């Protein structure tokens, strides 16, 4: 049996440095500094440049997205997780650019009595932030809740997509 080889590159972006991780099957992770669900750094594999064949396309597409020139991603993904996690991540991938949904709405779509809190756990463990748009999930009142890269990055991504109005400055 052939084993998969991980490799990673750290790339400066508009959101700060992002670590891109890929294996032989595709993009396996995108992580922020301080990402609350970082896997063991040893699992990232050997360091390579952002132009490595396994990473060049994800790096390019994320750059285009952050520059406002891309709305959808066309990447091979290699996501590891339970069947329920995979189900939730597939639902996240279907949330359209520029829109949001709630943890409760995702829970209702998954069914089987799963709670919004449990959905939040699966959303929070999404290994490919931005590409599988977990930033598009908000609280039941529209509040910005939990994001592995921090609320300010979540706000930035939603504002980039026009899904969150930029607040008007105070006039006093």
- The pLDDT, as a whole number, for residue 110 is 94
Residue 141 lies in a domain: yes
Q: Which residue has the tokens 């990232």?
A: 44
Residue 53 lies in a domain: yes
Q: Of 9, 114, 134, 148, which is the active-site residue?
A: 134
| CB-CB neighbours of 84 under 10 Å | 15
Residue 51 is part of which domain span?
A: 7-66
Are residues 34 and 94 part of one domain? Answer: no
- 134 flagged as catalytic: yes
**37, 66, 95 - which closes a domain:** 66
Distance CA 60, CA 78 (A): 18
Structurally, the chain folds into a number of domains equal to 2
Are residues 149 and 96 part of one domain? Answer: yes
Strands 101-102 and 137-138: parallel
CATH number, domain of 113, equals: 1.10.10.10
Q: For residues 103 and 117, is the Cβ–Cβ distance under 8 A?
A: yes
Are residues 56 and 97 part of one domain? Answer: no
CA-closest candidate to residue 105, choices 142, 157, 155:
142
Degrees (nearest 5) of the Cα angle 116, 72, 82? 40
Residue 155 lies in a domain: yes
Strands 101-102 and 16-23: unpaired
Sign of the CA dihedral 89, 106, 65, 168? negative
Are residues 152 and 91 part of one domain? Answer: yes
Are residues 131 and 92 part of one domain? Answer: yes
Distance CA 16, CA 165 (A): 22
Half-sphere exposure of 112 (CA within 13 A, CB side): 8
Residue 121 lies in a domain: yes
Degrees (nearest 5) of the Cα angle 131, 135, 141? 155
Residue 60 lies in a domain: yes
Which residues does 77 contact at the CB level (< 8 Å), separation at least 6? 26, 27, 28, 128, 131, 132
- The pLDDT, as a whole number, for residue 142 is 84
pLDDT tens track of the chain, all 172 residues?
Answer: 445 689 999 999 999 999 999 999 999 999 998 777 767 788 899 999 999 999 999 999 999 999 999 999 999 999 999 999 999 999 999 999 999 999 999 999 999 999 999 999 999 999 999 999 999 999 888 888 888 888 999 999 999 999 976 555 555 4
**Model confidence, pTM:** 0.90
Are residues 104 and 137 part of one domain? Answer: yes
């Amino acid at each position: 049996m052939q084993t998969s080889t991980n490799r990673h590159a750290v790339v400066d972006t508009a959101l700060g440095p992002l670590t891109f991780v890929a294996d032989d099957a595709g993009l396996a992770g995108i992580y922020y500094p301080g990402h609350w669900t970082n896997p063991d750094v040893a699992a990232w594999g050997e360091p390579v440049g952002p132009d490595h064949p396994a990473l060049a396309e994800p790096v390019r597409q994320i750059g285009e997205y952050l520059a406002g020139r891309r709305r959808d991603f066309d990447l091979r993904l290699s996501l590891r997780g339970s069947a329920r996690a995979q189900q939730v991540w597939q639902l996240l991938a279907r949330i359209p650019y520029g829109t949001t949904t709630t943890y409760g709405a995702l829970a209702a779509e998954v069914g089987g009595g799963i709670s919004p809190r449990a959905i939040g756990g699966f959303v929070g463990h999404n290994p490919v932030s931005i590409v599988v748009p977990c930033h598009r999930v908000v609280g039941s009142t529209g509040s910005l809740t939990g994001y592995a890269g921090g609320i300010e990055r979540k706000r930035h991504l939603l504002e980039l997509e026009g899904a969150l109005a930029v607040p008007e400055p105070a006039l006093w």
